[in-house]
């Protein structure tokens, strides 16, 4: 009987998980913004402010783990399309969290929810592409490390 | 829908960024009087905050008063004194108080609380009333003692017919009390509940008795800047109540007054006047705080509109029928001065120019650059109405470079000799302003 083929994987990237966490919170803020725009119940806009603030905290954590990925030699070269998608979403969210510090209706309508729509579109693409902003280092089968 | 949203918001964002970069307040004098200048409202990315650091008074320092007047320290080392209330026998009550504390709702609330604390607004209040007794009327009290302790964020006080009424943040309490007494030991009896927790954003409850003493008027501030804590928590807020002094029955007297921080009855006419603090975060010159006579059943705009029919777009849903009803206040006090103290003058006790009008304590702005307020002003009255430009009376609370603040004036009152008493909740001091030319006031005889 032939020996089973052992495929070896490179160590996984650490940063995509944290981008996915933050991205999920930022996309959830579109839902809560939408709810506030429908019912004017202020608690929905409070949820948005917390979700976006939380998303930005995870963005910071993700940056730290991206640096760790580089330091550990796990990350390949930067994938610029993903980097721009995620980076733009983070920068727009920085504006968005400030818009959400406004009081009552104008914390969401119309600027806040518009920014949330843009961020959600950027992050959906980034998410479907796998949340990583660098290439993975590929280890060929059978290659000895 | 998305397309129109995008267009609207990109224009909006551009405005907001511009606004955040270059928004300095104009000349406050343009906003005093019956027709204040009102610029277009702006929305901000960074909530505008500008506060001087609280440093207190060094020994020998005092606020500045005009020539012909002198200022003395009446009491120091108080715990956040807010309201001063002279009694008929010459004793002065000092209400030492601060917010019962509010819980944060949003990320913003944490930051805003820290900024306000820097300006001395976070200090713990005494939750008590201190009595100052100056029998010989020289401005130096011989006695300073705690009259009543363990109150719940008290603010307004009124003495009527052997009873001291104290407006705690959640109820009017009644204490049997005869001027001359230096200690209240009897437990208070609750006269009426007042709107309070769980948010209690504007916690102060101002209080004044009608001329005949049959009614008490209570000012209750809104539960938010501009409904950002939800409309349901604004039930019964931003209103002035009339409470029957004997039965405690209360009815809404006027509504739409965002934060009626103090009330006063005009001598002679018995007309109720209020000062109110208006909304923040739509510009350094919006919206002017105001002084107004209060009409029974009147609606003064909050939250839907300001200064009459100027709609506030932050409120949703809007109510056009309410906007149409909104009364324009009598007299603008310029924006963000945080008017907190109000008292009518009683003739020429300080100076002929202060014979007819009101003294107003301006606590000072926290969200405007350049800073505004931080002084006690006099607004002259003509034919029973505020008229003409204000006259600064007590100034010098703010350092010349506007970086630090030594004190912030709050409550104002005239004592029995006609001297102006000013509570200072950052200097933790009570100041007394009197006329230099006048002979030393005669000793007050106590009954």
Q: Does position A137 have pLDDT exceeding 90, yes or no?
A: no
The dihedrals phi and psi of B146, each to the nearest 5 degrees, come to: -80, 120
How far apart are the C-alpha atoms of B285 and B307, rounded to whole Å? 13
A96 in Cβ contact with A115 (< 8 Å): yes
Report residue B19's pLDDT band, with 50, 70 and 90 as the boundaries.
Answer: very low
What interhelical angle do A42-71 and B107-118 show, nearest 10?
A: 90
Report residue B101's pLDDT band, with 50, 70 and 90 as the boundaries.
Answer: confident
What average pLDDT does the segment B58-67 reach? 95
Q: Does position B105 have pLDDT exceeding 90, yes or no?
A: no
- In chain A, count H helices and then E strands: 4, 2
Which residues numbered 268-327 in B keep a CB inside 8 Å of some CB on A?
281, 313-317
How far apart are the C-alpha atoms of B210 and A39, rounded to whole Å? 43
* Closest Cα in chain A to B13: A111
pTM for this entry: 0.91
* Closest Cα in chain B to A111: B9
User: What CATH number is given for B2-435 in this structure?
Assistant: 2.120.10.30
Q: What is the pLDDT of residue B117?
A: 80
Report residue B121's pLDDT band, with 50, 70 and 90 as the boundaries.
Answer: confident
**In chain B, what are the domain boundaries?**
2-435
Q: What is the pLDDT of residue B443?
A: 41
Give every CB contact of residue A116 below 8 A, 6+ residues apart in sequence. Answer: A26, A29, A30, A33, A48, A52, A96
Q: Where are the beta strands (DSSP E) in B200-246?
A: 205-209, 215-220, 239-244
Q: Which residues of B touch A45 (CB under 8 A)?
A: 228
Q: What is the pLDDT of residue A141?
A: 57
In terms of C-beta density within 10 A (0-12 exposed, 13-18 middle, 19 or more buried), how is residue B229 classed? buried
DSSP B390-414: -EEEEB--B-TTSSEES--EEEEEE
Q: Does position B446 have pLDDT exceeding 50, yes or no?
A: no
Nearest CB neighbour to B9, from listed A40, A42, A110: A110
Q: Does position B15 have pLDDT exceeding 50, yes or no?
A: no
How far apart are the C-alpha atoms of B384 and B399, rounded to whole Å? 36
Upstream peptide bond of A110 is cis (omega within 30 degrees of 0):
yes
Give every CB contact of residue A16 below 8 A, 6+ residues apart in sequence. Answer: A130, A131, A132, A133
**In chain A, what are the domain boundaries?**
24-135
Please indicate whether residue B13 or residue B112 has the higher confidence score (pLDDT): B112
How far apart are the C-alpha atoms of B146 and B244, rounded to whole Å? 28
Closest CA to B164 of B178, B153, B175, B151: B175
How far apart are the C-alpha atoms of B141 and B117, rounded to whole Å? 31
State the best of B115, B228, B280, B283 to mutate against chain A, taking most chain A CBs within 10 Å: B228
B447 shares contact with chain A (CB less than 8 Å): no
The structure tokens listed for B322 are: 């309410």
Q: What is the pLDDT of residue B49?
A: 81
Q: Which residues of A touch B199 (CB under 8 A)?
A: none
- Residue-wise pLDDT tens digits, B295-331: 999 999 999 999 999 999 999 999 999 999 999 999 9
Q: What is the pLDDT of residue B2?
A: 46
- Residue-wise pLDDT tens digits, A11-43: 789 999 999 999 999 999 999 999 999 999 999
B232-240 long-range contacts, CB within 8 A, separation 24+: B233/B199, B234/B303, B235/B195, B236/B195, B237/B195, B237/B202, B238/B302, B238/B303, B240/B272, B240/B274, B240/B294
Closest CA to B399 of B426, B419, B438: B426
Q: Which residues of A touch B2 (CB under 8 A)?
A: 114, 117
Strand order in the sheet with B92-96: B81-86, B92-96, B128-133, B143-148
How far apart are the C-alpha atoms of A31 and A113, rounded to whole Å? 9
Average pLDDT taken over every residue of chain B: 91
Q: Does position A143 have pLDDT exceeding 70, yes or no?
A: no
- Residue-wise pLDDT tens digits, B70-85: 999 999 999 999 999 9
State the best of B9, B112, B318 to mutate against chain A, taking most chain A CBs within 10 Å: B9
Report residue B120's pLDDT band, with 50, 70 and 90 as the boundaries.
Answer: confident
How far apart are the C-alpha atoms of B184 and B178, rounded to whole Å? 10
The dihedrals phi and psi of A126, each to the nearest 5 degrees, come to: -60, -40
B222 shares contact with chain A (CB less than 8 Å): no
Q: What is the pLDDT of residue B5?
A: 45
Nearest CB neighbour to A111, from listed B9, B227, B230: B9
DSSP structural state of residue B266? P
How far apart are the C-alpha atoms of B373 and B366, rounded to whole Å? 10
* Closest Cα in chain B to A54: B107
How far apart are the C-alpha atoms of B243 and B259, rounded to whole Å? 18
What average pLDDT does the segment B135-144 reach? 92
- Residue-wise pLDDT tens digits, B26-50: 999 999 999 999 999 999 998 778 8
The structure tokens listed for B361 are: 């304590």
What average pLDDT does the segment B323-348 reach? 97
B219 in Cβ contact with B261 (< 8 Å): yes
Upstream peptide bond of B391 is cis (omega within 30 degrees of 0):
no
First to last CA, chain A: 27
What average pLDDT does the segment B148-173 reach? 97
């Amino acid at each position: 009987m032939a020996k089973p083929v052992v495929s070896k994987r490179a160590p996984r990237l650490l940063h995509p998980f944290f981008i996915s966490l933050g991205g999920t919170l930022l996309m959830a803020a579109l839902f809560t913004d939408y709810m506030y725009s429908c019912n004017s119940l202020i608690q929905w806009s409070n949820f948005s402010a917390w979700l976006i603030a939380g998303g930005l905290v995870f963005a910071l954590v993700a940056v730290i783990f991206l640096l760790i990925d580089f330091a550990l030699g796990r990350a390949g070269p930067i994938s610029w399309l993903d980097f721009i998608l995620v980076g733009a979403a983070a920068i727009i969210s920085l504006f968005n969290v400030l818009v959400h510090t406004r009081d009552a209706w104008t914390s969401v309508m119309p600027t806040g929810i518009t920014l949330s729509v843009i961020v959600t579109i950027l992050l959906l693409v980034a998410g479907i592409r796998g949340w990583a902003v660098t290439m993975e280092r590929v280890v060929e089968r059978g290659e000895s490390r | 829908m998305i397309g129109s949203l995008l267009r609207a918001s990109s224009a909006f964002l551009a405005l907001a960024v511009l606004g955040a970069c270059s928004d300095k307040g104009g000349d406050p004098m343009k906003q005093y009087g019956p027709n204040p200048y009102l610029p277009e409202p702006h929305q901000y990315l960074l909530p505008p905050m500008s506060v001087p650091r609280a440093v207190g008074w060094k020994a020998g320092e005092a606020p500045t008063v005009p020539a012909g007047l002198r200022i003395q320290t009446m009491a120091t080392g108080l715990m956040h004194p807010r309201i001063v209330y002279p009694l008929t026998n010459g004793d002065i009550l000092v209400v030492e108080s601060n917010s019962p504390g509010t819980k944060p709702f949003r990320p913003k609330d944490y930051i805003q609380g820290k900024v306000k604390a820097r300006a001395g607004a976070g200090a713990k209040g005494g939750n008590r009333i201190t009595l100052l007794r100056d029998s010989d009327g020289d401005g130096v009290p011989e006695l300073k003692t705690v009259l009543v302790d363990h109150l719940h964020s008290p603010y307004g006080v009124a003495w009527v017919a052997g009873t001291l009424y104290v407006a705690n943040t959640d109820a009017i309490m009644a204490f049997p009390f005869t001027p001359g007494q230096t200690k209240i030991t009897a437990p208070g009896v609750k006269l009426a509940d007042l709107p309070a927790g769980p948010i209690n954003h504007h916690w102060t409850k101002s209080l004044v008795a009608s001329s005949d003493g049959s009614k008490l008027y209570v000012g209750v501030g809104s539960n938010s800047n501009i409904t950002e804590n939800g409309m349901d928590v604004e039930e019964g807020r931003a209103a002035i109540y009339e409470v029957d002094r004997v039965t405690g029955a209360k009815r809404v007297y006027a509504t739409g007054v965002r934060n009626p921080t103090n009330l006063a009855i005009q001598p002679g006419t018995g007309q109720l006047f209020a000062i109110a603090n208006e909304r923040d975060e739509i510009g350094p010159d919006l919206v002017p705080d105001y002084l107004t006579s209060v009409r029974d059943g009147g609606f003064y705009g909050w939250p839907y509109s300001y200064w009459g029919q100027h709609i506030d777009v932050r409120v949703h849903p809007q109510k056009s029928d309410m906007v149409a009803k909104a009364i324009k206040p009598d007299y603008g006090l310029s924006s963000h001065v945080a008017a907190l103290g109000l008292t009518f003058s009683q003739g020429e006790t300080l100076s002929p120019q202060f014979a007819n009008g009101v003294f107003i304590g301006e606590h000072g702005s926290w969200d405007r650059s350049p800073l505004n307020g931080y002084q006690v002003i006099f607004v002259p009255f003509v034919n029973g109405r505020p008229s003409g430009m204000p006259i600064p009376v007590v100034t010098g609370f703010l350092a010349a470079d506007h970086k630090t603040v030594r004190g912030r004036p709050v409550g104002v009152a005239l004592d029995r000799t006609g001297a102006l008493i000013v509570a200072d909740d950052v200097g933790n001091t009570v100041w007394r302003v009197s006329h230099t030319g006048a002979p030393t006031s005669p000793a007050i005889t106590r009954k």
